[in-house]
Structure 1
Amino acid sequence: MLYYLFRFLEQYGIQGAHLWSYISFRAILALITSLVISIWFGEYFIKWLRKRNVSETQRDVSIDPYGQQKKGVPTMGGVIILVAILVPCLLFGRLRNIYMIILLVTTVWLGAIGFIDDYIKMKITKDGLRPVYKLAGQCLLGLFVGVTLWLSPDAVIHENVSMKKQGTEIVVHKSKPVKSTITTIPFVKDNNLDYKWFVSFCGEHKEAAGWAVFVLMTIIVVTAVSNGSNLNDGMDGMCSGNAAIIGVALGILAYVSSNMSFASYFDIMYVPGSQELVIFLCAFIGALIGFLWYNAYPAQIFMGDTGSLAIGGIIAVTAIIIHKELLIPVLCFIFFMESVSVLLQVQVAKYGNKRGKKLRLFKRAPIHDTFRILPGQLAPDVKVLLNWPRGCWLESKITTRFWITTVLLAALAIITLKIR
């Protein structure tokens, strides 16, 4: 809103109004505002939750050896993150930008699903919203994002092409913006993949079939990353710290994609209008860092599904918009491993049950739980295939080491711009 106000005032020569045309200026304002809101609003929100006894129920000590200490800690802290994201974006963002609209819808939609889940856990049943309903909500969002990017005339790219000039190979962008199902393959020199390639047998219907593949890919990515983020939210500061690091990497990739000169230099497609993603991601990063003020060990509040589902959705949708969704396994490796560890643990347990054995791949799943199991907590008749580590790490150490891993992977994701 303020963007449009000051651009209007600029017409009348108001001093300083021109600053609002600069992405860097609005991005820094969004970062600072979201950080301040999350810290300021967080304090009052925690007090409000405590008065109404909106708190974490006692955890299973067999899974979390520190669960007794977390009894009575307020939950649904994702509300703090959502407010701290939405307010700066509404103030400093271009609200007619299609990408800003998509991310705002993503935040509200998945935040609402998570809020309902948290509310049911507290008031009705500890199991929360049935998984099929959460999955349906995630798939609907993926469908909305994919179809919107398909049909919106504003969601276009300028394709990058290589050409030789005076014996030197340079990259230029086609002057005409186009609707495209092209995405980027990391670590590959000619790194563009068109989803239409998978359906080239469709003949004259290849264009529509390619977009159908793109929509399906969008649904898969949104659902997978959102669930991975949700599983990662199991320790103080774990999910919010990892997501903030990922947000920084995505912000760099979004800025490069929104600048034609940088896009040409790095030989990637130019996505006009994606500079507004930088505004959103700065608000996202500030909100998460501010939330860590209260969520770092020992946590004063938990984000709950209200925050974790929205965080994963925001990361997934941003990657899709800038055509970097194939970087997700690298950038969100921690989220990916959390999901894979659960799937593998379930399959190994089923295999053991068929043979009358209590068989496990890890001591616990998701994977972060396997690092905090105390000696003797596992039943003596349970056989663990990967019995590592032998001891129990402190929760703060596990969280920090996961952060370090995410920093390394985020750096790797960024340098894929040059490593091919």
Structure 2
Amino acid sequence: MLAQIRSLAGPLVAPEDLDRLVERCAGARWVCVGEASHGTHEYYRWRSLLSRRLIEEHGVAWIGVEGDWPDCWRLDRWVRGLGDQDLDARGVLAGFERWPTWMWANEEVAEFLDWLREFNERRPAPRQVGFYGLDVYSLWDSLREIIAWLEQHAPEALPAALQAWQCFVPFHEDPHEYAWSTRIVPESCEPDVVALLAEVRRRTLGRTAEDPGAFTAALNAMVAADAERYYRTMVLGDRRSWNVRDQHMADVADLLARHHGPGSTGLVWAHNSHVGDARATDMFDAGLVNVGQLLRERHAPAEVVLVGAAGWTGTVVAAEAWGEPEEVVAVPEARAGSHEDLLHRALGEPAAMVFGRDRSGPWLSGRWGHRAVGVVYHPWREAGNYVPTRMGERYDALLWFEDTRALRPLHHELPPEEPELGTEPTGL
């Protein structure tokens, strides 16, 4: 087993050590690059280095991240030289206010965005690389963006938007309050946001390719409809809320690919739990799907590449509970018998691993625990942080790190008065 691991591994010290992985990604239309936590420097740094090479050498057209559409749209405008040009990357990222802000408001992302802006400055507008949010949380922000666009471009359609807004007004922008109200009284704002989605789609039909404002209005309407369903499903304690979220992210990734044209290539940045094919884990047994699985099911095998990340020990930025301030937390050495333990015993140093067509053999086909660290992390409950995984089915490649360190947040979290609902108990 250890011999199979060694046979797949190459060194991971300098950007050129990514050569085999870059070659593996060439020709794919969706390259999903994961992370084993939302707070580790090495995962963010090497994902950025891989992304830079794919952008420069293989013409990647867009990046979709596990972030909110309105916040990331502001970043997209900035890296294209179209907005907030009086700010640097750190200034624009300071606008990220949804917890956990450290996921995107950190030095590692700021350094990548600085590079991307400089790269885009040297290219004509149609060939600039976009930066977008795939996630579903921004219900109220997306509604505000829709209203602002309709006021300027289709004021006669404002009644539909205002009706949806008024439906949510009693809940003071609190998803807890809205979601619980639908459980107590079986009435929801679903008809209003669905009607709004239909109206915005009608108003933007045929305009999104040439009009960035119409494009983002259509996406915000999509977010509003799916966010309403996500919160309403989640408060019931129904794990299908995970599926609502990941189906939304996969749908947005497909939409971005269509928006950027036939043959365009995009990158998806998200946690391993979203990137690695759920069918190779116990998530499948629980009826859960994820982005990596959905993209593989929808597209030809050669069009989708899934890249995971893993580490043995180190430090990470995480929180004690949902909505609490961040801390630098020690990540213990991986549990015996886990994938991380096997990789440590076989390699003992960082490695880039690319899996070939043959995914048999004791390690690639075996099922062992694979550590997943969420934004809420309790090292003393390590047993619950491991996802039973067949590595050769979950990913097409893996970036491995022996010792990792916490990423560098741009600012510290302040606990909100009313923490927003978490995604899952582990905060993935």
Specify the TM-score bucket, using the shorter chain as the normaliser. Answer: under 0.3
Larger helix percent? 1
Larger strand percent? 2
Return the TM-score normalized by structure 1: 0.26
Q: Which has the larger radius of gyration?
A: 1
Return the TM-score normalized by structure 2: 0.26
Larger RCO: Structure 1 or Structure 2 (Cα < 8 Å, ≥ 6 residues apart)? 2
